[in-house]
A and B are shown apart, each in its own frame.
Chain A
């Protein structure tokens, strides 16, 4: 117990073994977070290539074949490589500290679930350098474009998805086991911080739907290599079946991405409002309601596929319903701020931007849920704008907020407030310049996943590209700020760090020692 973690002073060999063999939740959390940031930069680079090509009409830099690989890889890397691991990293760092546990319940599995991830992404990315190129069928990989008509490298893609799925399932089982078994005495379910609540619910979603994704890619594998016809109309199969299976995974997946983000924001807003979270129990119930609804609305992604009208109506009504629990959350956050004593440090700025921009994305979501109007919106830039408002301004902004918020606790150093705010404003403005015009593009008729477009779309595409480069620049600044903090930030040993912070993790010393809560705290 007494030994600390190996540092560079112990030599490279020991230092590397520490990270490879670690079963410490803080180390694994750190690994997840750095991995996710690396993927974020890579996925971002793909996006820059896309936006550079779309800067003007015509094909200037790349060929359509490579463009399609870029859109596909961008989506896959961002969803599975950047956002999901980022929140697993936060879960690893924070859940034990929030519930008063010494570590995660299944530490060795924790190690495994992280270390298979780099291999999954190495396999996936290596296809870009292979004959035939990387996956080029979109992150939704609709059959038969992804089966009969796919490059041979699709088999690597399938293998990669399987590994990612295994990693996610193990990660979620671990979280569920930890929360169910390792809470400190007195830490009842309804006392758990909201971040823990949203993550448990997310973990159940993951365990339920990742196997469905695995099923979908396995059916693809069979169709491609073993002569089955699940998705091949010529053999009696049905390409639409693929979409049902995919979206049965895919819609819960978008909530897997956003629920932990809700949790993060529900921790940060009370801190900087100096006031407890409003409507704690309704937040928990709303999260559960959203999770439940997410299983029964999947075909709202398929309104144009030609479903019978009864199906179409059902999926429309069910989707509209999601607005109710989502609204409850937004109202709760705002009411938490009401009659608080507000300050606007960087984490708070990102959280407020989250509330505003996520709500905006919720509004466009409402519009998309109206099937008759979706016939016009579907597969246009309007949808691209919608999901970037909820996923980038939602998940990525809240992830950024989380890093600024807990970084001082993790490393005992304070980030530079001015630099944090500079990053925030560049990101906020850049984000809106990028994605606001995409609403107009979509409404005016520009389909998504287009390598080239007519002249009537030229201006807004140029604006959007400029915004994208700006937003990309903000991420480089983020990296700089984090490294600068860890290396040269102002040391702090205030356990609370923030005046208004509440919760078990803030009772620990700063920086958090390698082992914490070896004896469980008592929660009143």
Chain B
């Protein structure tokens, strides 16, 4: 890193050199990109095209205006003996440079309008997927298929805090990507659960805010299989940079297979909900869930952040009755950022994480929390 910093420092003598230097070290990171991606959908292509049109128009105007300006700065300097003229008005010229830009704008408005119409063409979709933004993960629900899952960052805290080397897919990897088929028009119905998030996949040209209490629609249709990475683009709290979007586009047959697998998984899961877990099994699973879903606020050591997120270590709720502890996770705490996890975590995960919180960091309650306890609480409501 230091070497690279040095190299860049030298390079900064002129931006042009910097550019070349940066190019030479790029092998180390992923591909460098300077421009907007063309992407793989009609919408992203339209955005790219209008972006390029605008950029060229601005470039041409810029060259003309700045060119003239530099000429003036060279030719009419006092040191070259220039004597100031005294004019300060010219109605014709002033009229021209008001009307010509206005005309250019009118011309530009045409492609700009047709591009926007494409973005909004969300009718007649083949597949509907509900996308919900949570602090700090995404939930995908295949409407009418009974398939629903959470997609969370997979990069470890150790990588983020530099305790282990960063992997190739640093901050671009999730537990379960969204999967869609090629050749089908997929409509995303986007909403938020807590604060506003924004769901962005650059290669689809899709960016839509995920606003609580509101559904917005966007769409994508592509023939190019592959993995596409995007981000959350609306500030949503401390995990804002840590909730990437990953979409896998698969050929239709492969997609159907995947979907069937998902449905089967759900069925198997439903049948294991009655299983009795051991103390250690729950601890292992609980720690995993905790690190993924809770540590962002309450911290890995259970100490929270004073004044913002309460500590769980020695907390009366973690040491008190099991039902009260489950209740907090199922119902959330109104008026705070402690949301309900009923929809985000399975009964097994909730049981495991409750168990973990009651028995980690010196919280030695010693009892067991089983999935069935969680189910009972939910049904008792």
User: Which of A34-42, A212-220, A439-447, A507-515 touches B?
Assistant: A439-447
Query: Which residues of A (351-382) have their CB < 8 Å from a CB of B?
Result: 352, 355-356, 359-360, 363-364, 366-367, 370-373, 375-376, 378-380
Known: A309-B116, A451-B240. A342 touches B82 (CB 8 A): yes
A109 touches B (CB below 8 Å): no
Q: Which of B66, B117, B207 contacts A375 (CB 8 A)?
A: B207
CA distance A68 to B236 in the complex (A): 10
**Of the 9-residue stretches A163-171, A188-196, A271-279, which lies at the interface with chain B?**
A271-279
Query: How far, in Å, is A45 (CB) from chain B's closest CB?
Result: 21
**Knowing A152-B307, A372-B118 touch, does A359 contact B62 (C-beta < 8 A)?**
yes
Interface membership of B284, Cβ < 8 A: no
State whether A331 touches B54 (Cβ < 8 A): no
- Bitwise interface map of A from 144 to 188 toward B, beta carbon under 8 Å scored 1, else 0: 110011011000000000000000000000000000000000000
Interface presence of A137 (CB below 8 A): yes
Please choose the segment from A454-462, A474-482, A488-496, A516-524 that sits at the chain B interface, where 4 or more of its residues have CB less than 8 A away.
A454-462
B216 interface residue, CB < 8 Å from A? yes
How does the 8 Å CB contact mask read for B38-54 relative to A, with 1 for contact and 0 for none?
00000110110011001
The answer to whether B233 and A433 touch across the interface, beta carbons within 8 angstroms, is no
Interface locus among B67-75, B311-319, B321-329, B343-351: B67-75
The answer to whether residues A58 and B216 also contact, given A334-B68, A355-B69, A436-B15 and a CB cut-off of 8 A, is no
Check B1 against A56 for contact (C-beta < 8 Å): yes
Closest to B211 in A: A239
- Complexed CA–CA distance, A479 and B95 (Å): 43
| Chain A min CB distance to B295 (Å) | 12
User: Given A359-B62, A453-B171, are A376 and B207 also a contact pair (CB < 8 Å)?
Assistant: yes
**Which of B156-164, B251-259, B270-278, B286-294 forms part of the interface with chain A?**
B156-164
User: With contacts A68-B238, A324-B105 known, is A376 near B205, CB below 8 A?
Assistant: yes
A450 sits at the interface (CB 8 A): yes
Residue in B30, B58, B238 whose CB lies within 8 Å of A366: B58
Partner of B235, one of A138, A239, A304, A321: A138
When C-beta atoms are compared, the residue in chain A nearest to B69 turns out to be: A334
Given A144-B195, A328-B94, A376-B36, A342 and B47 contact (CB-CB distance below 8 Å): no
- On whether the beta carbons of A454 and B170 are closer than 8 Å, the reply is yes
A340 at the binding interface (Cβ < 8 Å) = yes
B51 touches A373 (CB 8 A): yes
On chain B, the number of residues with a Cβ less than 8 Å from chain A's Cβ atoms is 117
Q: Is B208's CB under 8 angstroms from A304's CB?
A: yes
Q: Which partner residue on chain B sits nearest A307 by CB separation? A: B216
Closest-CB distance, B57 to chain A (whole angstroms)? 8
**Which residues of A sit under 8 angstroms from B69, Cβ to Cβ?**
334, 337, 352, 355-356
Considering the chains assembled together, what is the distance between the CA atoms of A239 and B15 in angstroms? 43
Q: Does A116 contact B (CB under 8 A)?
A: no
CB of B183 within 8 Å of the partner chain: no
Inter-chain CA distance A327–B171, complex, in Å, is 42
Question: Which of B36, B108, B160 is packed against the most chain A CB atoms within 10 Å?
Answer: B36
Cβ contact of B84, chosen from A273, A312, A452, cutoff 8 A = A273
B117–A309 touching, CB < 8 Å: yes
In the complex, the answer to whether A142 meets B35 with C-beta atoms within 8 Å is no
Which of A15-23, A125-133, A249-257 contacts the other chain?
A: A125-133
A341-B82, A366-B58, A372-B119 given; A445·B9 CB < 8 A: no
Residue of B nearest to A375 (CB): B207
- B189-216 vs A, CB cutoff 8 Å, 1 = contact: the mask equals 0100011101010100111110111111
A425, B362: Cα distance in complex, Å: 59
Whether A204 is near chain B, meaning CB under 8 Å from some CB there, is no
Name the B residues within 8 Å of A4 (CB-CB).
none
Q: Which of B18-26, B123-131, B137-145 contacts A (4 or more CB under 8 A)?
A: B18-26
Q: Is the CB of A371 within 8 A of B112?
A: yes
Contacts of A309 in B (CB 8 A): 116-117, 120
How near does chain A come to B332, taking the closest CB pair, in angstroms? 11
* In the assembled complex, A234 has its CB within 8 A of some CB on chain B: yes
B contact residues around A366 at 8 Å (CB): 54, 58
Could you tell me the distance between the alpha carbons of A343 and B50 in the complex, rounded to whole angstroms?
41
Would B308 and A151 count as touching, CB distance under 8 A? yes
Q: Do residues B97 and A460 form an inter-chain contact, with CB atoms below 8 A?
A: no
- Is the Cβ of B65 less than 8 Å from the Cβ of A330? yes
For residue A245, CB closer than 8 A to chain B, the reply is no
Q: Which of B98-127 contact A (CB under 8 A)?
A: 98, 101-102, 105, 108-109, 112-113, 115-120
Report yes or no: B77 in contact with A331, Cβ–Cβ below 8 A.
no
A148 to chain B, nearest CB (A): 6
Q: Which residues of B contact A65 (CB under 8 A)?
A: 238, 305, 308
B 260-288 contacts with A by CB, 8 A: none
Asked if A284 is an interface residue, CB under 8 A from chain B, the answer is: no
Q: With A278-B88, A372-B50, A445-B231 in contact, do A360 and B62 touch (Cβ < 8 Å)?
A: yes
B72–A149 contact, CB under 8 A?
Answer: no
B161 contacts A59, C-beta separation under 8 Å: yes
B83: Cβ under 8 A from any A Cβ: yes
Whole-angstrom distance from the CB of B193 to the nearest CB of chain A?
10
Query: Does B73 contact A373, Cβ atoms closer than 8 Å?
Result: no
Interfacial residues of chain A within 334-352, with CB under 8 A of chain B in the complex? 334-335, 337-344, 352
Indicate if the CB atoms of A459 and B171 lie closer than 8 Å. Answer: no
Cβ of A334 and Cβ of B241 under 8 Å apart? Answer: no
Nearest A residue (CB) for B85:
A339
CB-nearest residue of chain A to B83:
A341
**Does A280 interact with chain B (Cβ within 8 Å)?**
yes
Cβ contact of A58, chosen from B97, B159, B190, B231, cutoff 8 A: B159
A449 close to B (CB within 8 Å): yes
Nearest CB of chain A from residue B294's CB, rounded to whole Å: 15
Residues of A within 8 A of B213 (CB): 233-234, 237-239
A240 in contact with B211 given A341-B78, A370-B54 (CB within 8 Å)? yes
Question: B33 an interface residue at 8 Å Cβ cutoff?
Answer: yes
Nearest-CB residue, chain B, relative to A238? B213
Shortest CB-to-CB span from B205 to chain A, Å, is: 6
Asked if residues B235 and A137 are in contact (CB atoms below 8 Å), the reply is yes
Q: How far is the CA of A460 from the CA of B18 in the complex (A)?
A: 10
> Given A342-B76, A376-B47, A449-B235: A306 and B209 within 8 A (CB)?
yes
A460-471 near B? 1/0 per residue, CB < 8 Å = 101100110000
Q: How far is the CB of B62 from chain A (nearest CB, A)?
A: 6
A372 near B233 with CB under 8 A, answer no
Residue A7 lies at the interface, judged by CB distance under 8 Å to chain B: no
Instruction: List residues of chain A with CB within 8 A of the CB of B92.
Output: none
Which of B108, B170, B231, B242 lies in contact with A455, CB distance below 8 A? B170
Q: Decide if B37 is an interface residue (CB 8 Å cutoff).
A: yes
The one of B101, B113, B161, B217 in contact with A327, judged by C-beta atoms closer than 8 angstroms, is B101
CB distance from B95 to the nearest CB of A (A): 10
Query: Is B335 interfacial (CB-CB < 8 Å)?
Result: yes
User: Quick check: B86 and A133 within 8 Å, CB to CB?
Assistant: no
| Residues from chain A with Cβ under 8 Å of B170 in the complex | 57, 454-455
In the complex, the answer to whether B73 meets A321 with C-beta atoms within 8 Å is no
- Indicate if the CB atoms of A304 and B209 lie closer than 8 Å: yes
- Chain B residues with Cβ under 8 A from A63's Cβ? 238
Residues of the A chain whose Cβ atoms lie less than 8 Å from the Cβ of B50: 370, 372-373
Per-residue contact bits, chain A 191-227, to B (CB 8 Å; 1 contact, 0 not): 0000000000000000000000000000000000000
Give me the interface of A with B, judged by CB distance under 8 Å: 56-60, 63-65, 68, 130-133, 136-138, 142, 144-145, 148-149, 151-152, 233-234, 237-240, 273-282, 304-306, 309, 312-313, 316-317, 320-321, 323-324, 327-328, 330-331, 334-335, 337-344, 352, 355-356, 359-360, 363-364, 366-367, 370-373, 375-376, 378-380, 432-433, 436, 440, 443-445, 447-456, 458-460, 462-463, 466-467, 500
29 contacts between A and B (CB under 8 A): A57-B171, A58-B159, A58-B160, A58-B161, A59-B162, A149-B194, A234-B213, A275-B84, A275-B86, A275-B88, A278-B90, A279-B88, A306-B214, A316-B109, A316-B116, A320-B105, A323-B101, A324-B105, A337-B76, A342-B77, A370-B54, A372-B115, A373-B115, A375-B206, A376-B205, A444-B34, A447-B231, A458-B29, A459-B29
7 nearest CB pairs, A to B: A233-B213, A131-B307, A306-B216, A132-B307, A372-B115, A363-B58, A379-B233
